[in-house]
């Protein structure tokens, strides 16, 4: 939801902390998740992720979450799916070139990143996205230790 | 600028030590000369002569010619096609590549093909959204974005491998560039955005149309503060500009073309003029004069849609080339003329001599 995701960006610092804690929790529960079986968990976890992240961030399930590098504003809501910053078409009122009624997600990302402790991660060049990860759980990937903040989801 | 090692048109120059490409543009920029580039509008046609005719307009005035890639999301001849035609007679080209229409497989193939055809400069662009052009129902691709395209091209060149990691036998030796638009929001982070493109491999930048020199001056100061304008890995900023034909069209551009910022003062100045077209050209000259004085600016990129002949006047009257005559087919050797140039047709004497 548009309003919720704007609210999240305004509270990017809190969500950064929440996410950092959640990441540790995921990594700690790795042995348990492994015992249950990642393959068995994939579908229900992806559904859960779609539900929660969809509500909070309008998550598009790209499978390679970079929210903590983008001010908690999901870059996949950009109609050009830009993961490295705003295009040159941002309107004078901050509206998106393609969808004028939507504020540029990168304006939000920049503001959100300024509120975060590790906001400077926004300067790291994000490599091309691995399209084969679309629709899969990025949380399980974090648990497996396969999530690289930069490499487009590829190991 | 004449090099001792000028080759036969269509063949590459030797790559100088510390350079990455066999092209003229990199040489001019790294030599610290004020460079001038322009763009040609690829024709809606399969006629090669049309491309050469459009290029001949700039003979003796520009260091490189951009071939746009479906600009404004409108369909035209491909940029690789245009570059290939131009490099055959020796022109220095800047291949524009937008992420809108192709995935990484197609783009890497095109980079190799274009480099093989003698294109030495690659401008990596995100691209306008499809809604802006004549095919709004097309599927936008955006597999990459401008920084990830730069990074991919840089790796192809420096590490001789595809994005997949598979090796390339002979890498594309291209001077990489990107666009910057300091004139639109979020202005506070535009210099940082440029820094990201430089980190990804851009060594030259062509900006969007500049109609507000004060904004550009602040932007350049910020870019300088980030340390991007020093050392062998510095970035060369070419400021975009062009003549506006009238106040009415300036308004239309402002309202309809994404990313072009035209302040009210500019529109008022045009409205107040008795000859708006002349005033538009004068405004462009004034901007060029101001911009060349800004610390760290390496050149100008003059875009004159449907006013291509004005470019020569603007360059001549401002004297930005400082007496230099950029290479063009026939400059040094009359047998190398662009077959579609007025000189080849015997219509006019040479526009400029070496």
**Which of B44, B88, B89 shows the shortest CA–CA distance to B68?**
B44
pLDDT score recorded for residue B11: 73
* Cα B183 to Cα A23: distance, rounded to the nearest angstrom: 39
Is the Cβ pair A90, B196 closer than 8 Å?
no
> Which residues, including other chains, have CB under 8 Å from residue A130's CB and lie 6 or more apart?
A63, A64, A152, A153, A154
Total number of residues shown for chain B: 354
Tokens describing residue B112:
């190799």
The residue count of chain A comes to: 155
Angle at A128 between CA B162 and CA A125, to 5 degrees: 110
Contact A79 B180 (CB under 8 A): no
Structure tokens at A134: 């679309």
Selected for mutation to probe chain B from A76, A89, A105, A113 (highest B CB count within 10 Å) is: A89
Give residue B349's pLDDT: 54
Nearest Cβ partner of B200 from A94, A110, A125?
A125
Angle at B343 between CA B338 and CA B348, to 5 degrees: 155
Cα B284 to Cα B242: distance, rounded to the nearest angstrom: 6
- Give backbone dihedrals phi and psi of A29, rounded to 5 degrees, phi first: -85, 5
Angle, to 10 degrees, between the axis of helix A38-57 and the axis of helix A2-10?
90
A48–chain B nearest CA distance, Å = 26
Query: What is the secondary structure of B69-89 as a DSSP string?
Result: SSGGG---S-HHHHHHHHHHT
Beta bridge partners, B85, equal none
Residue ranges with strand state E in B215-320: 236-241, 297-302
Q: Does residue A112 register a pLDDT over 80?
A: yes
Task: Assess whether pLDDT exceeds 80 at residue A45.
Answer: yes
> Chain B within 8 Å of A37 (Cβ-Cβ)?
no
Element (H, E) at B36: strand B35-40
For residues A40-68, average pLDDT: 96
pLDDT tens-digit series, residues B202-249: 999 999 999 999 999 999 999 999 999 999 999 999 999 999 999 999
pLDDT at A54: 96
Residues of B in contact with A131 (CB under 8 A): 143
Q: Which residues in chain A (82-141) have CB-CB distances under 8 A to chain B?
A: 82-92, 94, 97-98, 104, 106-107, 110, 122-123, 125-129, 131
For residue B85, give both structure tokens. 């035609």
Query: Of B317, B208, B232, B180, whose CA–CA distance to B32 is shortest?
Result: B232
DSSP category for residue B299: E
Picking from B211, B188, B199, B187, the residue whose alpha carbon sits closest to that of residue B235 is B199
Interface contact B148-A86, CB threshold 8 A? no
Q: What angle do the packed helices A2-10 and A105-115 form, to 10 degrees?
A: 30
For the entire predicted model, the pTM comes to: 0.94
The answer to whether the CB atoms of A88 and B147 lie below 8 A apart is no
Q: What is the distance in angstroms between the Cα of A66 and the nearest Cα belonging to chain B? A: 15
Q: Could you give phi then psi for residue B50, rounded to 5 degrees?
A: -60, -40
Give the Cα separation of B255 and B251 in Å (integer): 6
pLDDT by residue for chain B (354 residues), tens only, comes to: 677 776 667 678 899 999 999 999 999 999 999 999 999 989 999 999 999 999 999 999 999 999 999 999 999 999 999 999 999 999 999 999 999 999 999 999 999 999 999 999 999 999 999 999 999 999 999 999 999 999 999 999 999 999 999 999 999 999 999 999 999 999 999 999 999 999 999 999 999 999 999 999 999 999 999 999 999 999 999 999 999 999 999 999 999 888 999 999 999 999 999 999 999 999 999 999 999 999 999 999 999 988 999 999 999 999 999 999 999 999 988 888 999 998 888 865 555 444
The pLDDT of residue B354 is: 42
Distance of CA B227 to the CA centre of its chain: 23
For B140, which DSSP code?
P
What would the mean pLDDT of A36-63 be, rounded to a whole number? 96
- Give the Å distances, CA to CA, from B16 to B112, B120, B173: 21, 13, 12
Q: How far is B326 from chain A (nearest CA, A)?
A: 30
End-to-end CA distance of chain A: 31
Q: Per the CB < 8 Å rule, is B145 touching A90?
A: no
Instruction: Determine the Cα–Cα distance for residues B212 and B141; give it in Å rounded to an integer.
Output: 33
């Amino acid at each position: 939801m548009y309003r919720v995701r704007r609210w999240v960006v305004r509270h990017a610092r809190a969500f950064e902390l929440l996410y950092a804690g959640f990441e540790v929790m995921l990594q700690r529960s790795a042995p348990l998740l492994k015992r249950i079986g990642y393959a068995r968990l994939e579908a229900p976890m992806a559904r859960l992720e779609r539900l929660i992240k969809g509500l909070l961030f309008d998550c598009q399930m790209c499978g390679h979450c970079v929210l903590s590098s983008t001010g908690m504003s999901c870059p996949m809501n950009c109609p050009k799916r830009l993961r490295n910053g705003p295009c040159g078409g941002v309107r004078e009122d901050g509206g998106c070139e393609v969808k004028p009624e939507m504020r540029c997600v990168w304006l939000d990302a920049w503001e959100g990143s300024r509120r975060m402790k590790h906001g400077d991660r926004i300067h790291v060049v994000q490599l091309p996205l691995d399209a084969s990860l679309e629709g899969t759980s990025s949380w399980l990937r974090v648990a497996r230790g396969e999530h690289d903040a930069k490499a487009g989801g590829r190991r | 600028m004449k090099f001792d090692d000028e080759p036969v048109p269509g063949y590459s120059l030797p790559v100088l030590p510390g350079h990455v490409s066999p092209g003229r543009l990199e040489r001019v920029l790294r030599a610290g000369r004020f460079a001038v580039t322009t763009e040609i509008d690829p024709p809606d046609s399969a006629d090669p002569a049309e491309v050469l005719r459009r290029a001949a307009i700039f003979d003796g005035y520009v260091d490189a010619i951009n071939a746009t890639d479906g600009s404004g999301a409108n369909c035209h001849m491909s940029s690789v096609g245009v570059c290939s035609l131009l490099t055959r007679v020796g022109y220095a080209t800047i291949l524009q590549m937008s992420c809108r229409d192709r995935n990484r497989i197609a783009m890497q193939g095109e980079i190799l093909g274009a480099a093989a055809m003698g294109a030495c400069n690659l401008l990596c662009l995100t691209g306008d959204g499809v809604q802006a052009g004549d095919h709004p129902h097309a599927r936008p691709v955006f597999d990459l974005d401008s920084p990830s395209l730069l990074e991919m091209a840089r790796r192809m060149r420096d590490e001789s491998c595809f994005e997949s990691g598979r090796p390339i036998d002979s890498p594309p030796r291209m001077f990489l560039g990107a666009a910057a638009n300091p004139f639109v929001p979020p202005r506070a982070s535009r210099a940082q955005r440029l820094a990201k493109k430089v980190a990804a491999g851009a060594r030259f930048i062509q900006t969007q149309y500049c109609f507000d020199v004060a904004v550009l001056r602040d932007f350049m100061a910020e870019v300088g503060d980030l340390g991007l304008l020093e050392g062998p890995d510095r970035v060369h900023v070419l400021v975009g500009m062009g003549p506006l034909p009238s106040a009415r069209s300036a308004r239309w551009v402002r309202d309809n073309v994404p990313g072009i910022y035209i302040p009210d003062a500019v529109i008022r100045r045009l409205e107040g003029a008795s000859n708006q077209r002349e005033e538009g050209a004068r405004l462009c000259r004034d901007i060029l004069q101001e911009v060349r004085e800004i610390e760290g600016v390496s050149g100008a990129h003059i875009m004159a849609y449907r006013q291509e002949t004005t470019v020569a006047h603007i360059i001549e009257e401002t004297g930005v080339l400082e007496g230099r005559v950029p290479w063009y087919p026939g400059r040094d050797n009359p047998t190398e003329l662009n077959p579609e140039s007025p000189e080849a047709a015997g219509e006019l004497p040479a526009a400029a001599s070496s």
